[in-house]
Each structure stands twice: as C-alpha cells, then as structure tokens.
Amino acid sequence: MIVPPTQLDGASVIWIADGPLDGGFGFVKFVEEEDREGTIAHLAICQYQESPTVYVFACNREWKVIGDLAYLDVESAMREAERYYEISPINWKSVTG
C-alpha cells in the first residue's frame, strides 16, 4: 500500500478517502491528456497556502492527481463529493491529526 501524501500538486492534504474496493470512485479519461486517466482510487481534500479555496483531488492508486473540483470550504467539498461521486457516506480521514 502506498502511504498517503501530505502534499499533492503543491497543495496541503487535509482529508483523504479511499474508494470502494469494487471500482473506486469511478474512471476518468481526458482525451487530450493520455497520462490523466485511470480508476479514481482515492480522493483528497487539499488547500493551497494563502488560498481560501479547497479542492477535491481525484487520485489514482499511486496518488497521482487525475482530476479536481473546487469548493469554498471543507464542508461543501465533503458534501458535494458524495453527490458528485454518488457514494454516501464517503469515509474521510484527517491527515492533519
């Protein structure tokens, strides 16, 4: 198992969630970017320093970011991730302690 990172794409990881074993959170494929495709195995709620915006990063099994969604706060990110990925509840785990 790969240890969850403390940073992704330069943003601090605040919360993480592992996808269900039967296929994760889904699959993503960007036509113009071949390296950004695969099963979404993990989600991470992250925040860049000095920014009020939080992001839900969709990550593959190796924790490489393959997609993201922006939100105003952590609570909105958690709530909307459940709706977006159609999985409820998502079992979020704090990375900060």
Beta bridge partners of 11: 8
DSSP SS3 for 82: helix
pLDDT computed for residue 12 by the predictor? 97
pLDDT computed for residue 97 by the predictor? 61
Of 13, 86, 93, nearest in space to 55 by CA? 13
The DSSP secondary-structure symbol of 11 reads E
- pLDDT tens sequence across 30-82: 555 556 667 899 999 999 999 999 999 999 989 999 889 999 999 999 999 99
* Residue 16 Cα to chain centre, angstroms: 7
In the block, residue with structure tokens 């969630």: 17
15 pLDDT above the threshold of 80: yes
pLDDT computed for residue 1 by the predictor? 56
User: Do residues 41 and 18 lie in contact, with contact meaning Cβ atoms separated by under 8 Å?
Assistant: yes
Task: Give me the DSSP letters along 23-79.
Answer: TTT-EEEETTEEEEEEE--EEEEEE-TT---EEEEEE-TT--EEEEEEESSHHHHHH
pLDDT computed for residue 26 by the predictor? 82
Q: What is the pTM of this model?
A: 0.87
